[in-house]
Amino acid sequence: MKTTSFFLMLFLSLTLLLLRIDDPLPSFAQSPPTYTAGVMTKSYDERRAKALEKFEEIIGKYIEERAGIKIRLKALTYPDLVKAIEKGGVDFIWGYGLIVSTDLSKRFPILPILTPTLGEDRRSLFKRFAVATKDLAPSLSDFKGFTGKRLTYVGDEQWSFELLVFKVWVAERYGVKDISQFISLKGRDPDEGFFIPASRRGAIYSLFIKEADLAIAHEFEYITQEKLTPNAIRERAEVLPFANSTEGFMEAPLFVRKGVARKDVEKLIKAMMEMPDDPEGKQILLSSKMSGFVKVVDQDYQPVKALITRMETLGIK
């Protein structure tokens, strides 16, 4: 009797097991993959650290909800960013403008994937302008007019793409390879930490408060300043058409290192490109003075690379 009961229980247990084979296994929530984005900064200080920490909290939550991946932001100076890329300590990289971005792309196996757009029309291609005070402009028909003048720009001299454009123009037109011998250079720190050229305290504003005679500026800075102070732009400043870049340049890109899972990269790209059409995403963009993102590839930066090559060939200092 006991044997019969045993086999009956065994039969029932096997039957129940077979019936459960097709049932889905219990699901366990998996943690989303986590990636580190290295964001170049000029220096380490409490203000920048707090700003980045707050932005990481906002953008990190947004990306995790929309793309299903976690992004940690890490502020790094140029030497530390280089070391982090070398050691595989960062997965995504945001440089400090076009010069640094081009240098990093030459040195490391990283690929551009997105670049920010600026303005309501979501543009990503912008020219560079040379702007002078109204009373000085007529005297700048040759290089003698530039001698002894004060020139301002946004950023550090070695990292200012706007200044690079001007230096190449001067070298090719006048044969001058070191403009600092003739012109007083003064860089300005942007209000924002990541070189979005929309600052009231930008290069052009220096002309209005008589801190400079000339300004080399990003086109979007000019557009923004024109909206902020239309009378001042008309009455106190003049764009020098002969000294301006004839082509537009893409904004500095967000890079991804080779080897990051492609499906996660595509998820991130999709989430960031959809930000302007999402109320929460649009608010984040506005707080960062950007209007959206567009896809980019290495070829989009050929004009930038060509200009840097011209600078090196000319031996510009």
- Note whether 216 and 153 are same-domain residues: yes
Same domain, residue pair 150 and 230: yes
Enclosing domain of residue 66: 34-118+252-300
**Tens digit of pLDDT for each residue in 235-247?**
999 999 877 777 8
The pLDDT value recorded for residue 165 is 94
Mean predicted confidence (pLDDT) in 155-182: 92
Residue given tokens 């995790």 in the structure block: 64
Tell me the C-alpha distance between 117 and 271, whole Å: 15
Which residues of 84-229 form beta strands (DSSP E)?
Answer: 92-94, 110-117, 125-126, 128-133, 150-154, 184-188, 214-218
Q: Are residues 41 and 147 in the same domain?
A: no
Question: Is residue 144 predicted with pLDDT exceeding 80?
Answer: yes
The answer to the question of residue 8 being in a domain is: no
Minimum mean pLDDT among 10-14, 250-254, 267-271, 309-313: which range? 10-14
pLDDT of residue 274: 97
pLDDT of residue 171: 94
Would the pLDDT of 81 be above 60?
A: yes
Q: At what angle do helices 78-86 and 98-107 cross, to 10 degrees?
A: 30
Q: Which residue has the higher pLDDT, 5 or 259?
A: 259
Surface-to-core class of residue 16, CB atoms within 10 Å of its CB (0-12 exposed, 13-18 middle, 19+ buried): exposed
* Per-residue model confidence as pLDDT tens digits over 96-110: 789 999 999 999 999
User: Is the same domain home to 180 and 242?
Assistant: yes
pTM of the predicted protein model: 0.84
Q: How many CB atoms lie within 10 A of CB 117?
A: 20
Is-contact 193 202, C-beta < 8 A? no
My answer on whether 203 and 277 are in the same domain is: no
Look over the chain and give the mean of its residue pLDDT values, rounded to a whole number.
Answer: 85
pLDDT for 199:
44
Q: 270 and 176 in one domain? A: no
67 and 179 part of one domain: no
Q: How confident is the model at residue 190 (pLDDT cuts 50, 70, 90)?
A: low
Closest Cα to residue 118, out of 220, 24, 215, 36?
220
Same domain flag for 244 and 272: no
Q: Does any domain span residue 210?
A: yes
Q: Looking at the structure, tell me whether residues 215 and 143 fall in a common domain.
A: yes
pLDDT band at 90 (very low <50, low <70, confident <90, very high): very high
Q: How confident is residue 187, by pLDDT bands cut at 50, 70 and 90? A: confident
The mean pLDDT of 67-89, rounded to a whole number, is 93
Residues 113-142 have a mean pLDDT of: 92
**Taking 90 as the threshold, does the pLDDT of residue 113 lie above it?**
yes
Q: What was the pLDDT predicted at 12?
A: 37
CATH number of residue 200's parent domain: 3.40.190.10
pLDDT at 269: 97
| Mean pLDDT for the stretch of residues 158-164 | 91
Give pLDDT, residue 27: 47
User: 165 and 276 share a domain?
Assistant: no
pLDDT digits (tens, 9 = 90+) for 36-58: 999 888 777 777 677 777 878 88
Q: Are residues 74 and 94 in the same domain?
A: yes
pLDDT for the residue 201: 60
* Count: domains in the chain: 2
How many C-beta atoms lie closer than 10 Å to residue 287's C-beta?
Answer: 12
Burial pattern 23-60, b for ≥16 Cβ within 10 A else e, equals eeeeeeeeeebebbbbbbbbeeeeebeebbeebbeebb
Q: Is residue 228 part of a domain?
A: yes
pLDDT attached to residue 29: 57
Whether residue 187 is contained in a domain is answered as yes
| Whether pLDDT at 5 is above 60 | no
pLDDT at 264 over 80: yes
